[in-house]
Structure 1
Amino acid sequence: MASSSSFRMTFSVVFLIIIGMASAELSSSYYNTSCPNALSTIKSAVNSAVAKESRMGASLLRLHFHDCFVNGCDASILLDDTSTFTGEKTANPNNNSARGFDVVDTIKSDVESICPGVVSCADILAVAARDSVVALGGPSWTVLLGRRDATTASLSAANSDIPSPSLNLSGLISAFSKKGLSTKEMVTLAGAHTIGQARCTNFRSRIYNETNIDTSYATSLKSNCPRNGSDNNLSPLDTTSSTSFDYAYYKNLVNKKGLLHSDQQLYNGGSTDSQVSGYSSSSSTFLSDFKSAIVKMGNISVLTGTSGEIRTNCRKINS
């Protein structure tokens, strides 16, 4: 028992050291000299995309999340399948769900036109996530830069490591802990569900079978999500303000109006109830914590230095 405990402690220390080393190699001023207009170019493209379709803000934020949870923040999610390569786009959490790839293509093209071969696709995802939140009324934060792009991807890791909407609280805590993120940070990052939508197939079981859901809320969802069929019909993750990055998500949880099973697990008589309650009454606390948590998430197992590459096309590795 003692040796097992020692191993876990040693592993945790090593993991934190690795994360610390990686983030130490990233810098907010990374492109100041090599591509001084990189950030303004990305922001302009994101603003244009979100103005055209507000849902795109949530989609771009989600790409960053789904990228970081699979072997680190290395833009592996952007790689297309080929005859000899299988990427992550067809993994269960991404298939018919992950979107915004065309917007990333546009951003990459814009950046390549001013600074060829300089700005990584992984950094584009991190900056686009921040700019999307800002475009929808949320807070800004300083994005650390200098990530490089992976030359491979993992379908199996995408299927196993991206948290499922069917997870219970213990499963959520475990999934985030595996990535070096605390339970508090997990609850905080879940607040990203204050924007965006989910497919009927991901919440059907909840609205028909679960009891910890507001009855009128469940009823309102059933017309758009029948017991059979219509799997791809969408409903907002935040029933009150799905295109504004605010703290209403937590108010919804307190009122048993979490759309996904995994959402409501955060306020269901468990250890995270008090944090949800706190966020539901304090926008400033949530927004401050969110900025810190997403910066930490963006540092997971990044490639720096001579590792990986700077892809010319985010959909494929350089030939």
Structure 2
Amino acid sequence: MEFLVLLLIFLITSPSLFVTPSHSQLSLDHYHKSCPPFSQIVQDTIINKQINTPTTAAATLRLFFHDCLLNGCDASILLSSTPFNSAERDADINLSLPGDAFDVVVRAKIALELACPSTVSCADILAVATRDLVSMVGGPYYNVLLGRKDGRVSEASHVEGKLPRPTMSVSEIITLFASNGFSIQETVALCGAHTIGFSHCKEFSSGIYNYSEYSQYNPRFAQELQKACAEYQKNPTLSVFNDIMTPNKFDNMYFQNLPKGLGLLRSDHGLYNDSRTRPFVEMYAADQNNFFEAFGKAMEKLSLYKVKTGTQGEIRRRCDAFN
């Protein structure tokens, strides 16, 4: 009897073995019987989309972050506003989310509804499409447990302060991710997502003209950014790649750029200049395999954040509307 009590205490207190009720309902082969073509349909969809629109991988990765960090990974970011509700996607910070990411999920959903009606959640599609696209452009392959339900809440008023902004200080970013259960090392690894994608000039323009911040940029890089963004007030769509060296490849070049003053955003510079995050920047810059392993583990953890299962959600027939 004493042994059983001790064993129970160990299982409850051991973080490596403890499984939340929601997570316990997820599995790698959730659609093995209910929708056998699930993986292939998602793969075919993302390959076609990425080939025709090379910005899809970065766009989908960003969409996944914006979905998970608010209500958890429940595809609430995909819902459209109605006359009675302003949805998450219409919050100020989400207005710049590229349409490519929404489109790839919708395409996969349509194909899956034809093959397996009312079976696959939009949340699972987004999670797997993100992983497969990251892997497709050179990044790590990591496990994604399946069986999420789609959330029933999406309100723009809930977004403010819940998502990282490019103008945030490192302390603010650390605090934001810590509130969601992520360590400093995991936060730095997730910031490595900036190795692909681009940012609009308005998100960093003050730094390239403001002398007090100018020293954080490589001077020549700052001059080139001034040229690239010279007309951004007339054309708000002007943008620059986050990683100017290998913009379309998921690698550790983002971290190699930071010590050279080639970071694009204030938050990028902060990672190298802050004593709490700099060791991890240097670690990932020196060893891509180390970065890939850390990023994969952090993404696995993020993909399980506040997931809905059972009666907590639904399987939407359309990703942009409640059933």
TM-score (normalizing by structure 2):
0.90
Q: CA deviation at 1:17?
A: 11
Alignment deviations for residues 265-290 of structure 1 (CA, whole Å, 9 cap, x no partner): 11014211111001101010000111
1:107 equivalenced with 2:92 (yes/no) = no
Q: CA deviation at 1:92?
A: 2.0
Q: CA deviation at 1:248?
A: 0.2
Percent identity of paired positions between Structure 1 and Structure 2: 38
1:217 equivalenced with 2:221 (yes/no) = yes
| Cα distance in 1, alignment partners of residues 303 and 251 from structure 2 | 21
Alignment deviations for residues 221-257 of structure 1 (CA, whole Å, 9 cap, x no partner): 1112127443320100011011000000000112121
Q: 2:267 aligns with which of 262, 284, 292?
A: 262
1:73 is aligned to: 73
Q: Secondary structure of the residue that 2:159 maps to in structure 1?
A: helix
Q: Which has the larger radius of gyration?
A: 2
Q: How does 1:60-209 map to 2 (within 5 A)?
A: 60-99=60-99, 100-209=101-210
1:9 is aligned to: none
1:292 equivalenced with 2:293 (yes/no) = no
Please say if residues 122 and 319 of structure 2, whose CA atoms lie closer than 8 Å, have aligned partners that are also in contact: yes
1:302 is aligned to: 307
Please say if residues 63 and 97 of structure 2, whose CA atoms lie closer than 8 Å, have aligned partners that are also in contact: no
Q: Secondary structure of the residue that 2:228 maps to in structure 1?
A: coil
Q: Secondary structure of the residue that 2:27 maps to in structure 1?
A: coil
Please say if residues 213 and 257 of structure 1, whose CA atoms lie closer than 8 Å, have aligned partners that are also in contact: yes
**Per the alignment, do residues 106 and 144 of structure 1 end up closer, same or farther by CA in structure 2, a change over 3 Å counting?**
same
Q: RMSD between aligned alpha carbons?
A: 1.8
Letter in structure 2 aligned against 1:222: Q
| Cα distance in 1, alignment partners of residues 314 and 17 from structure 2 | 24
Answer with 283-292 or 87-96: which moved more.
Answer: 87-96
Alignment deviations for residues 13-67 of structure 1 (CA, whole Å, 9 cap, x no partner): 9x99998443232211111111111011111101111111111110011111110
Letter in structure 1 aligned against 2:240: S
Q: 1:280 aligns with which of 279, 285, 289?
A: 285
Q: Secondary structure of the residue that 2:173 maps to in structure 1?
A: helix
| Cα distance in 2, alignment partners of residues 53 and 252 from structure 1 | 26
| Cα distance in 2, alignment partners of residues 308 and 145 from structure 1 | 14
Q: Secondary structure of the residue that 1:235 maps to in structure 2?
A: strand
Answer with 286-295 or 135-144: which moved more.
Answer: 135-144
Q: Secondary structure of the residue that 1:306 maps to in structure 2?
A: helix
Aligned pairs, number: 305
| Cα distance in 1, alignment partners of residues 226 and 49 from structure 2 | 31
Please say if residues 62 and 97 of structure 2, whose CA atoms lie closer than 8 Å, have aligned partners that are also in contact: no
Q: Secondary structure of the residue that 2:321 maps to in structure 1?
A: coil
Please say if residues 170 and 274 of structure 2, whose CA atoms lie closer than 8 Å, have aligned partners that are also in contact: no
Q: CA deviation at 1:259?
A: 0.6
Please say if residues 169 and 262 of structure 1, whose CA atoms lie closer than 8 Å, have aligned partners that are also in contact: yes
| Cα distance in 1, alignment partners of residues 274 and 139 from structure 2 | 29
Please say if residues 19 and 300 of structure 1, whose CA atoms lie closer than 8 Å, have aligned partners that are also in contact: no
Q: CA deviation at 1:213?
A: 1.1
Q: CA deviation at 1:150?
A: 0.8
Please say if residues 59 and 97 of structure 2, whose CA atoms lie closer than 8 Å, have aligned partners that are also in contact: no
Q: Secondary structure of the residue that 1:127 maps to in structure 2?
A: helix
Q: Secondary structure of the residue that 2:161 maps to in structure 1?
A: helix
Q: CA deviation at 1:127?
A: 0.3
| Cα distance in 1, alignment partners of residues 133 and 193 from structure 2 | 11
Q: CA deviation at 1:79?
A: 0.4
**Per the alignment, do residues 113 and 240 of structure 1 end up closer, same or farther by CA in structure 2, a change over 3 Å counting?**
same
Please say if residues 218 and 260 of structure 2, whose CA atoms lie closer than 8 Å, have aligned partners that are also in contact: yes
Please say if residues 108 and 121 of structure 1, whose CA atoms lie closer than 8 Å, have aligned partners that are also in contact: yes
Q: CA deviation at 1:181?
A: 1.1
2:3 is aligned to: none
Structure 2 unmatched ranges of 5 or more = 1-12
